[in-house]
A and B are shown apart, each in its own frame.
Chain A
């Protein structure tokens, strides 16, 4: 799909290591956003979905559209629309990050491979990844129809200039440390420098109080 190729490198390395098991259990790892105006790409992601039992979106572009949503794109004079994989096909697990941590991706893959009702741990590990795969990270994320209706590529995750609602924020600074674009500063409560923000969602997902901040049905 569309991206810088960093997630692709992580995916290749994991696929190499778990090739047989992934094939046997029909697990597909996909990185990058989908260009809705590229028929081949849309067809490809639909085929991947059709041929796999479990689809794992790897990296922010795949999970939320991430940085790619901010690009205008151009093909024969027409702008392109970059959306998250979940807007085109069903995603089972989603691992956010720009780039995601390779060890985290491996941990999720192992948990999915070993997913067994007897192994409670794997369910605990996978729960947050299921939550963000099944629904937009927070309510204000634009739905695909809204994306189609607007040329505005500033589709924020809804965080505005704070990574999480101050009502929930404890000022611990985890989001600041995790931000891959150095866009956060903290003085009691974290603030986003919107000029640097790449809308990857890493801050939100790593927030220690993210569960409280999520709508009740997603917890």
Chain B
């Protein structure tokens, strides 16, 4: 694959183009790219999103994380059903996030759908195979892989990022780092070690954790209107957002004049993970990292 030019292709376009285009950057990260873009615009113009809109977005983002974790684990264990559950959950924003917009979410879900989603979450919780973590621990003893430095969106400082070349490879604070499930679970204290093998265990733990989070959010969700018409000012504005997507960090920075996009910058976990991948000389390690080419050649 060669560079598709998502950043340059955004210049001169209306902010309405962010969701349909960013959901088509990468199937695995479709919600998080669109969400980061929309959030960057909302930050640029101090736009408030109703709570229900925020809940729906968060549920979809967690659904995406479940789907990606399941897809990436499928090379090691059967996670097909969990993948489908994640996919159904992320569709809360419509196919390809079509109800996501600057100002919130254009449609809420019905009571019936909420009930169905809760059932789906419970089904998913029963499918999580914790035994796999023990298998990973056994493999860890047999094949040695290095420990990795981690970054996550919760402690991210763009000024510490150093990018090189195009497509971009990135270092954080001068170090080779990993971004993804392990970083998130380590940050939350749900995993204690930072070995490359732990990426696999982190994915299993994260699926369970995300399902629990979704359950809480669904219980909080009221069926009121999740959207408020945004007020877009005329002058220049800059907004940035960094969130955790299915693969890892998704950072979007947008420069605007009114509704028009002047400049667009995207940084993804894969810019960091490519540097890590190049530094690993073990096939098992490469298989665990599983670089997403679409997020790299954006």
Is A73 among interface residues, defined by CB-CB distance under 8 A?
A: yes
Q: Which of B4-12, B128-136, B234-242, B271-279 contacts A (4 or more CB under 8 A)?
A: B4-12
Is B99 among interface residues, defined by CB-CB distance under 8 A?
A: yes
Q: Is there contact, CB below 8 Å, between A5 and B96?
A: no
Q: Is there contact, CB below 8 Å, between A180 and B98?
A: yes
Interface size class, chain B = 20 to 34
Measured CA separation A44–B3 after assembly (Å): 18
Measured CA separation A146–B100 after assembly (Å): 35
Q: Is there contact, CB below 8 Å, between B106 and A72?
A: no
How distant is B96 from chain A, measured CB to nearest CB, in Å? 5
- Among A73, A180, A181, chain B packs the most CB atoms within 10 A around the CB of A181
Is A51 among interface residues, defined by CB-CB distance under 8 A?
A: no
Give the chain A neighbours of B19 by CB distance below 8 A: 181-182, 196
Q: Is there contact, CB below 8 Å, between B16 and A35?
A: no
Q: Which of A20-28, A74-82, A110-118, A210-218 contacts B (4 or more CB under 8 A)?
A: A74-82
Give the chain B neighbours of A74 by CB distance below 8 A: 3, 5, 8, 166
Give the chain B neighbours of A68 by CB distance below 8 A: 4
Q: Is there contact, CB below 8 Å, between A181 and B5?
A: no
Is B51 among interface residues, defined by CB-CB distance under 8 A?
A: no
Question: Which residues in chain A, 39-71, are within 8 Å of chain B measured between CB atoms?
Answer: 67-68, 70-71
Measured CA separation A209–B17 after assembly (Å): 28
A98/B96 contact (C-beta < 8 A), A73-B2, A75-B2, A80-B2 known: yes
Give the chain A neighbours of B3 by CB distance below 8 A: 73-75, 80
Q: Is there contact, CB below 8 Å, between A73 and B21?
A: no
Main secondary structure of the interface of B (DSSP, over half): loop
How many residues belonging to A are interface residues under a CB distance threshold of 8 Å? 34
Q: Is there contact, CB below 8 Å, between A79 and B5?
A: yes
Is A195 among interface residues, defined by CB-CB distance under 8 A?
A: yes
* Mask: chain B, 18-33; 1 = CB below 8 Å from A; 0 = not: 0111011111101000
Is A37 among interface residues, defined by CB-CB distance under 8 A?
A: yes
Q: Is there contact, CB below 8 Å, between B4 and A71?
A: yes
Is B143 among interface residues, defined by CB-CB distance under 8 A?
A: no
Give the chain A neighbours of B106 by CB distance below 8 A: 182
Give the chain B neighbours of A153 by CB distance below 8 A: 9
Q: Is there contact, CB below 8 Å, between A4 and B30?
A: yes
Q: Is there contact, CB below 8 Å, between A5 and B294?
A: yes
A72/B8 contact (C-beta < 8 A), A181-B98, A195-B16 known: yes
Q: Is there contact, CB below 8 Å, between A195 and B13?
A: yes
Question: Which residues in chain A, 152-192, are within 8 Å of chain B measured between CB atoms?
Answer: 153, 179-183
Question: Which residues in chain B, 83-111, are within 8 Å of chain A measured between CB atoms?
Answer: 94-96, 98-99, 106
Give the chain B neighbours of A71 by CB distance below 8 A: 4-6, 9
Measured CA separation A211–B165 after assembly (Å): 49
How distant is A90 from chain B, measured CB to nearest CB, in Å? 24
Measured CA separation A4–B26 after assembly (Å): 4
Measured CA separation A180–B6 after assembly (Å): 19
Give the chain B neighbours of A193 by CB distance below 8 A: 16
Q: Is there contact, CB below 8 Å, between B99 and A182?
A: yes
A180/B4 contact (C-beta < 8 A), A9-B27, A153-B9 known: no
Using CB atoms and an 8 Å cutoff, list the residues of chain A in contact with chain B: 2-6, 8-9, 35, 37-38, 67-68, 70-75, 79-80, 82, 98-99, 153, 179-183, 193, 195-198
Using CB atoms and an 8 Å cutoff, list the residues of chain B in contact with chain A: 1-6, 8-9, 13-14, 16-17, 19-21, 23-28, 30, 94-96, 98-99, 106, 166, 294
29 sample A-B contacts, Cβ–Cβ < 8 Å, listed by A number = A4-B23, A4-B25, A4-B27, A4-B30, A5-B27, A5-B28, A6-B27, A6-B30, A8-B27, A35-B2, A38-B2, A67-B24, A70-B9, A70-B21, A71-B6, A73-B2, A73-B3, A73-B4, A74-B166, A80-B4, A80-B5, A99-B95, A99-B96, A180-B98, A181-B96, A182-B98, A195-B16, A198-B21, A198-B24
Known: A73-B2, A73-B5, A180-B98. 8 other contacts (CB 8 A): A5-B27, A9-B27, A67-B20, A67-B21, A73-B4, A195-B16, A196-B17, A197-B20
9 A-B pairs closest in CB distance = A195-B14, A195-B16, A181-B20, A72-B5, A5-B27, A6-B27, A182-B98, A73-B5, A4-B24
